């Protein structure tokens, strides 16, 4: 009897797994991939999509196409719950899919508790596809007037969004937008001071206002309300207040970390269910809590593939080693960036060029499967 592998989500930690579906099929597996869209958009290039540096087709991977070419089945849906004892997942389309092995890469989402009412002209920085809608809206309004844009959050996402909106504002035929970053405590609080100051200078030189110490408590269409009751009128609002894992795991009774992510051991395996694996932003690595950065999802790729295939073929599992320090490069728009690792820190055009080269190379590697 064939074993059933369900792959929940087509994100960064599953890229190599999707590329090797045929290996599982050859080993007697039925592979089902569940995803909320037929394409997966690379979040590292999302701000560049907003700013107009990249076209949609340059930053996405054809999840459905590759799954089916490799002999798997693709289901367009979201996972609503997991029954670890009954070994099935329930989807938002009403379907239930049984599994022998389950691999989760459900990503993360921007909390929206502070948002009241509909999301009209309010854009959460995830999902990435929504940034394309935001781009169209900025261009539409900017052709008529000076658009007032509020960005809630002070982390890297807020900085990248702000810089790329400024780049978009240079589009011929539109008025340059008025951009305000509501940074809460301060801008880039969890990064070295050198990185912080470079980000501040870059935004301020392009007339982007940074409101440090202004904590937003309420977001609704057309306005932001800060903790002191001040109301800030905005035409468009971006919410970039950090991310958290899907609530599916906690709601399904699985072991979760303090952030709500699926707790996994050194083999990227659920603590109490050896047939459930996971990677990326949706997991909490019990041995060493990891930052929510894409580099760890990329590093988890080969380990997830090995351990799932090893489980199917009754071979030993391989531990995941997070590795040491990682390279961070931020896209600030206008083909400029900030790069740092260890004591190396610089900004400007070279930083962006390095990021652009790495990102395009990463995407080409997996996009090649679409025409293979």
Query: What pLDDT, on a 0 to 100 scale, did the predictor assign at position 17?
Result: 95
**Which of 278, 242, 240, 275 has the alpha carbon at shortest distance from 261?**
278
Alpha-carbon gap, residue 41 to 133, rounded angstroms: 14
pLDDT, mean of residues 304-329: 94
Least confident span in 197-211, 289-303, 325-339: 289-303
Structural element, H or E, at residue 371: helix 349-371
pLDDT in tens, 177-215: 999 999 988 999 999 999 999 999 999 999 999 999 999
CB-based contacts of 329, cutoff 8 Å, min separation 6? 337, 338, 339, 351, 352, 354, 355, 358
| CB-based burial, 223-242: b 16+ in 10 Å, e otherwise | ebbbeeeeebebbbbbbbbb
pLDDT, mean of residues 338-352: 95
Instruction: Tell me, rounded to whole angstroms, the distance of Cα 175 from its chain centroid.
Output: 30
**Predicted TM-score (pTM) of this structure:** 0.92
Taking 90 as the threshold, does the pLDDT of residue 114 lie above it?
no
Report the C-alpha dihedral over residues 84, 299, 243, 47, rounded to 10 degrees. Answer: -140
Query: What pLDDT, on a 0 to 100 scale, did the predictor assign at position 107?
Result: 83
Query: What pLDDT, on a 0 to 100 scale, did the predictor assign at position 205?
Result: 97
- Please measure the distance between the N-terminal and C-terminal CA atoms of the chain and give it in whole angstroms: 30
Alpha-carbon gap, residue 300 to 268, rounded angstroms: 8
Band (pLDDT 50/70/90 cuts) for residue 292 is confident
Band (pLDDT 50/70/90 cuts) for residue 369 is confident
Highest mean pLDDT among 9-13, 24-28, 294-298: 24-28
341: which strand partners? 344
List, in order of start, the domains of the chain with CATH numbers: 3-36+77-109+243-326 (3.50.50.60), 122-242 (3.50.50.60)
pLDDT, mean of residues 29-45: 94
Report the C-alpha dihedral over residues 245, 248, 254, 260, rounded to 10 degrees. Answer: 30
Phi and psi at 101, nearest 5°, equal: -135, 140
Question: Of all residues in the chain, what percent carry a pLDDT higher than 70?
Answer: 100
Query: What pLDDT, on a 0 to 100 scale, did the predictor assign at position 348?
Result: 96
Tokens of 306: 């090995």
Q: Are strands 73-76 and 79-83 parallel, antiparallel or unpaired?
A: unpaired
pLDDT in tens, 239-281: 998 778 888 999 999 999 998 999 999 999 999 999 999 999 9
Band (pLDDT 50/70/90 cuts) for residue 306 is very high
User: Is there a contact between 160 and 47 (Cβ–Cβ < 8 Å)?
Assistant: yes
């Amino acid at each position: 009897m064939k074993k059933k592998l369900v792959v929940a989500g087509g994100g960064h930690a599953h890229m190599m797994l999707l590329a090797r579906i045929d290996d599982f099929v050859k080993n007697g597996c039925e592979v089902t991939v569940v995803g909320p869209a037929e394409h997966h958009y690379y979040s590292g290039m999302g701000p560049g999509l907003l700013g107009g540096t990249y076209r949609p087709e340059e930053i996405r991977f054809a999840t459905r196409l590759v799954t089916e070419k490799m002999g798997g089945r693709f289901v367009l849906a979201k996972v609503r719950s997991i029954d670890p004892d009954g070994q099935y997942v329930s989807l938002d389309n009403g379907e239930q899919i049984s599994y022998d092995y389950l691999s989760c890469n459900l990503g993360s989402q921007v909390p929206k508790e502070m948002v009241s009412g509909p999301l009209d002209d309010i854009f959460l920085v995830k999902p990435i596809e929504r940034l394309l809608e935001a781009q169209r809206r900025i261009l539409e309004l900017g052709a008529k007037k000076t658009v007032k844009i509020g960005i809630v959050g002070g982390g890297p996402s807020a900085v990248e969004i702000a810089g790329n909106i400024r780049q978009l504002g240079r589009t011929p035929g539109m008025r340059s937008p008025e951009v305000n970053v509501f940074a809460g405590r301060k801008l880039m609080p969890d990064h070295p001071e050198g990185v912080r100051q470079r980000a501040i200078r870059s935004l301020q030189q392009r007339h982007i206002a940074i409101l440090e110490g202004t904590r937003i408590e309420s977001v609704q269409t057309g306005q932001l309300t800060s903790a002191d009751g001040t109301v800030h009128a905005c035409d468009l609002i971006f919410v970039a207040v950090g991310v958290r894992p899907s609530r599916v795991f906690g709601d399904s009774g699985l072991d979760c970390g303090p952030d709500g992510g699926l707790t996994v051991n050194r083999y990227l395996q659920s603590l109490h269910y050896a047939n459930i694996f996971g990677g990326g932003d949706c997991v909490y690595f019990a041995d060493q809590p990891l930052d929510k950065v894409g580099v760890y999802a990329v590093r988890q790729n080969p380990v997830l593939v090995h351990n799932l295939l090893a489980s199917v073929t009754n071979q030993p599992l391989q531990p995941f080693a997070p590795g040491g320090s990682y390279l961070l490069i931020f896209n600030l728009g206008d083909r400029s960036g900030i790069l740092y690792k260890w004591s190396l820190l610089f900004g400007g055009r070279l930083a962006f060029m390095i990021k652009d080269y790495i990102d395009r190379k990463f995407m080409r590697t997996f996009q090649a499967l679409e025409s293979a």
